[in-house]
């Protein structure tokens, strides 16, 4: 019963010993002046980072020391300086991400605590945010329900996925397997240009063209429908799906396709029975990344929607549009304070956690595809 814990402990101790040995070897093999230089550069950069966070007027001093040490190290010990510099900046990036997490969760906590509900005598923080359906931060009774915005986000995401997934996969299949080289070189940059267009431009086009047309055609009072917001966001997510899905399709070994064709199958049969199934994990990752883009889209939804939080009747009515989590934040953060501002941070936490899990899931699926096809892990 104790074999596994002992073996795990022995493995950890062996790993620690190897790390210490590598550290001693690094110190022994590095010239003293180089060691001092990179140490001063790393410590001064971290000190400047800490001073920046503390809003200290002395932040410029360690940063100047870092620049001098880095310049000297780059001239005398370029390779070692580059290694330490990249390591230090990577650590700083991780620290920034961690601080962002701490900040948004800390700012969201007051509303979570305010929305505590007792269930059978057990207090559950934040439960009221998800069991009520009214957002009323000013008019009594004060309520901060995020259910209407979550509902709007889900509808927009479903519609955007229905647009981006089939179009993106079809375009990736065309570029990877069907298009001649000349056509591929013309079409692919055009698709990637779509990713460079600011989201406010998409939203403005939707507001000035799609929304008025929808209001006339479907006899809708006012402007803003989840349907057309989803279509616009789906077009915005299209470049992400196409790019990642094409990479996944290109990673399928040519020997698999050639073997299929040698057995007498057609190009279409090879694509549908060999290429797509083999690259399914990567294509799924592409769709997940597109969904993440759709969930986090702000400006297009803010411009096109009404900005009046509430549930549609019936719930599946996509020809009406109120608010999403992102548009709620964009429309209210300038005037919000107190618990209302904290509630916006709760919306941010929901978006962050959702997109984080989608990103992790897509990376896991993509790594599994590489292992399946014999690529690098």
351-374 pLDDT, tens digit per residue, is 988 888 888 887 787 777 677 665
pLDDT at 1: 44
User: 285, 323, 318: which is closest to 302 by C-alpha?
Assistant: 323
Mean pLDDT, range 231-255, rounded to an integer: 85
When comparing pLDDT for 192 and 131, which is higher? Answer: 131
- Least Cα distance to 249 among 312, 168, 153 occurs for 168
Average pLDDT for the chain: 82
- Sorting pLDDT into bands at 50, 70 and 90, what band is 261? confident
Name the nearest CA neighbour of 325 among 152, 184, 93: 152
The mean pLDDT value for 248-257 works out to 81
Residue partners of 240: CB distance under 8 A and separation at least 6: 164, 168, 195, 286, 289, 290, 293
Percentage of the residues of the chain whose pLDDT score is greater than 90: 6
Once rounded to an integer, what is the mean pLDDT over residues 288-307? 80
| Nearest-angstrom CA–CA distance, 286 and 366 | 9
pLDDT level of residue 273 (50, 70, 90 thresholds): confident
Residue 173: exposed, middle, or buried by beta-carbon count in 10 A (0-12, 13-18, 19+)?
Answer: buried
Confidence category of residue 223, pLDDT binned at 50, 70, 90: low
Task: Please check the confidence at residue 6 and state whether its pLDDT lies above 60.
Answer: no
pLDDT at 107: 92
pLDDT the model gives residue 4: 46
Highest mean pLDDT among 47-56, 61-70, 193-202: 61-70
């Amino acid at each position: 019963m104790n074999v596994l814990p002992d073996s795990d402990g022995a493995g950890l101790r062996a790993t620690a010993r190897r790390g210490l040995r590598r550290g001693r070897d690094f110190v022994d093999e590095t010239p003293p002046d180089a060691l001092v230089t990179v140490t001063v550069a790393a410590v001064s950069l971290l000190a400047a980072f800490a001073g920046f966070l503390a809003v200290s007027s002395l932040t410029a001093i360690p940063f100047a020391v870092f620049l001098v040490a880095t310049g000297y190290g780059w001239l005398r010990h370029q390779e070692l300086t580059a290694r330490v510099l990249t390591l230090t900046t990577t650590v700083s990036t991780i620290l920034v991400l961690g601080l962002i997490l701490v900040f948004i969760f800390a700012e969201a906590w007051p509303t979570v605590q305010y929305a505590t509900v007792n269930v059978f005598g057990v207090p559950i923080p934040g439960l009221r945010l998800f069991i009520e359906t009214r957002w009323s931060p000013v008019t009594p009774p004060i309520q901060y329900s995020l259910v209407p915005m979550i509902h709007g986000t889900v509808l927009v995401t479903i519609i955007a996925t229905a647009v981006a997934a089939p179009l993106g996969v079809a375009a990736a299949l065309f570029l990877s397997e069907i298009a001649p080289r000349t056509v591929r070189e013309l079409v692919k940059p055009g698709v990637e240009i779509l990713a460079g267009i600011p989201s406010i431009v998409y939203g403005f086009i939707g507001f000035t063209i799609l929304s008025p047309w929808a209001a006339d055609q479907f006899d809708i009072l006012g402007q803003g429908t989840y349907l057309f917001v989803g279509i616009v966001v789906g077009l915005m997510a299209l470049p992400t799906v196409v790019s990642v899905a094409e990479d996944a399709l290109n990673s399928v070994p040519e020997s698999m396709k050639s073997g299929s064709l040698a057995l007498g199958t057609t190009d279409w049969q090879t694509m549908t029975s060999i290429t797509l199934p083999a690259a399914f994990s990567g294509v799924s990752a592409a769709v997940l990344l597109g969904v993440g883009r759709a969930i986090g889209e702000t400006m297009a939804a803010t411009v096109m929607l009404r900005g009046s939080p509430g549930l549609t009747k019936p719930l599946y009515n996509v020809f009406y549009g109120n608010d999403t989590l992102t548009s709620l934040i964009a429309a209210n953060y300038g005037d919000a304070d107190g618990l209302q501002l904290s509630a916006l941070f709760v919306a941010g936490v929901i978006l962050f956690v959702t997109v984080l899990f989608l990103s992790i899931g897509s990376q896991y699926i993509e790594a599994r595809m590489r292992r399946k096809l014999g690529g690098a892990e």
